[in-house]
Amino acid sequence: MIVYESCPNCGSANISFVLSAKDYTVSDELFEIWECKNCTLRFTQKIPGKGEIGKYYQSENYISHSDTAKGLINSLYHKVRKRTLIQKRKLIIKATGKSAGQILDVGCGTGAFLATMKHANWQCSGIEPDENARKKAWELYGLQVKATDEFYNFPSETFDAITLWHVLEHVHDLHPYIQQLKKLLAPGGKLFIAVPNYTSADEKMYHEYWAAYDVPRHLYHFSPKAMKQLMDKHGLKIEKLKPMWYDSIYVSMLSEQYKTGSQHPVRALINGAVSNVEAIFDHQKCSSLIYIISLK
């Protein structure tokens, strides 16, 4: 168990308890979430260490590992994913200025995004901790995905694009990871980091039931301010923020189920839409954000 005496992002000792959230996916355990008053990062306190966290991912409902389409929410996720994969591909091409290049997807799951980039003639590499997900990536798309311990073995300045789609919040070794990502970027390369945003309106609606806290798998809960401070610390620059509009709907559907014990898709749709309306006027309030990052 890891207990933080200071902020895992900026190192400030000015940290305090905010709320307790439940693990609805696997264990039904409660975990504390604390906040740093300096950089505004929230983080899960008393988290399992790297050797113990694996059991909290062992659920057929954990979609990035199982690719399950069971149930209404997972079925909708798969339908929306087809559209978002194309949007991500277009984003990579536009931000890098390259129609083809080398890409690394960290935490690639079963490989759906990498397969999209492979079809666009990009040279694809993937890192994934879950063995079953790596096997599915091979079975579904012919992708030879590497285990996490290979992350530090790639040559420096290799990749034109490195993507982490809802992955950074899972990484125990936060600062070494960012430093390695920086090292792997080719000159002119771009880093794409997508994470939930706890400053969103849907978090305010659901608070301790907000599904994007996803304790204890999500170790950190980023605000735009916290992400900027993390990137600054490592000599990286956030060039642009891109909203992930569908996430507020997906998160609201799960949160509604956690809060009420039943699916209320219409109410969840309304709440997600209300959150997006607020974010239209301030993208930094979107339920999830993609940070497009470059070397300073």
Strand partners, 192: 163, 292
Report d(CA 189, CA 196) in Å as an integer.
23
* Cα–Cα dist 41/24, whole Å: 23
Residue-wise pLDDT for 212-235, tens only, equals 999 999 999 999 999 999 999 999
Q: Would you say residue 134 lies in a domain?
A: yes
pTM exceeds cut of 0.85: yes
User: Does residue 4 belong to any structural domain of this protein?
Assistant: no
214 within domain boundaries: yes
What pLDDT, on a 0 to 100 scale, did the predictor assign at position 59?
72
Structural domain contains residue 123: yes
Q: What pLDDT was estimated at residue 66?
A: 46
Domain containing 227 — which CATH number?
A: 3.40.50.150
Q: How many CB atoms lie within 10 A of CB 281?
A: 7
Q: Is residue 160 part of a domain?
A: yes
Please give the average per-residue pLDDT across 259-265, as a whole number.
88
Q: Dump pLDDT digits (tens) for 80-125.
A: 667 889 899 999 999 999 999 999 999 999 999 999 999 999 999 9
* Side-chain-facing half-sphere of 69: CA atoms under 13 Å: 6
Pairing of strands 102-106, 159-165: parallel
Classify residue 149: in a domain, yes or no. Answer: yes
Q: Indicate whether 171 belongs to any domain.
A: yes
Cα-flanking dihedrals φ and ψ of residue 135, to 5°? -65, -40
Q: Which of 170, 118, 162 is nearest to 140 (CA)?
A: 118
> Is the residue at 6 inside a domain?
no
Would you place residue 181 in the very low, low, confident or very high pLDDT band (cuts 50, 70, 90)?
very high
Full residue range of the structural domain in which residue 32 is found: 15-295
Of 220, 234, 217, give the one whose Cα is nearest residue 27. Answer: 217
**Number of domains the chain is built from:** 1
